[in-house]
């Protein structure tokens, strides 16, 4: 995400961990422009309830773009109740082919507690391996930490919190101010 239209925004680590019938999505609160922290308490993990069914979404990238995608995802979920994969695929297709949407700079982690998907503007709808997914500036750090912690006796939330703390210690665009949502089991 480094072209002339994208002014050097960094920040965000979003992590999803599935364990023991539960999925925990954690996101840090830092928003940076260049080397300046603009906000430390952003809420990048949201709970949607289209049709009364809970879905948790974490987003990385431009906030306005992510909110546009969240609105579209909510509409897709309303038109395909209980079909998270279908809604995510339809969103990814629109995102890739629509002239307006294809310029949006964001990524999403979406879960209904049973399924977890990473959705991108390249048309990807990916199910993570090893019950862990991560996106954003510190995503690779959080992913590696969480995968290493999956061999422990920690529950999903403890794995997510510890992995996010590790990512925040390594990535300057990630802080320890977490929003954590749990769904399932």
Q: How far apart are CA 22 and CA 38, in angstroms?
A: 33
DSSP E strand boundaries for the chain? 9-10, 13-19, 22-27, 31-33, 36-39, 45-48, 55-61, 106-111, 116-120, 125-126, 132-136, 179-184
Asked whether 173 and 24 are in contact (CB, 8 A), the reply is no
Judging by beta carbons within 10 Å of its beta carbon (0-12, 13-18, 19+), is residue 138 exposed, middle or buried? Answer: buried
Q: Which residues are catalytic?
A: 12
């Amino acid at each position: 995400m480094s072209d002339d239209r994208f002014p050097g925004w960094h920040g965000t680590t979003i992590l999803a961990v599935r364990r023991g019938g539960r999925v925990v999505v954690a996101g840090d609160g830092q928003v940076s422009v260049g080397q300046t922290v603009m906000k430390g308490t952003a809420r990048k993990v949201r709970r949607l309830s289209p049709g009364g069914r809970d879905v948790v979404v974490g987003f990385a990238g431009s906030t306005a773009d992510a909110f546009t995608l969240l609105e579209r995802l909510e509409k897709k979920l309303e038109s395909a109740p209980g079909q998270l994969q279908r809604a995510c695929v339809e969103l990814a297709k629109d995102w890739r082919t629509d002239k307006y949407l294809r310029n949006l700079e964001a990524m999403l982690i979406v879960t209904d507690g049973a399924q977890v998907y990473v959705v991108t503007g390249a048309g990807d709808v990916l199910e993570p391996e090893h019950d862990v997914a991560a996106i954003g500036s510190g995503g690779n750090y959080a992913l590696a930490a969480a995968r290493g912690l999956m061999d422990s006796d920690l529950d999903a939330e403890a794995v997510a919190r510890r992995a996010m703390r590790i990512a925040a210690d390594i990535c300057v665009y990630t802080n320890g101010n977490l929003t954590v949502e749990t769904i399932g089991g």
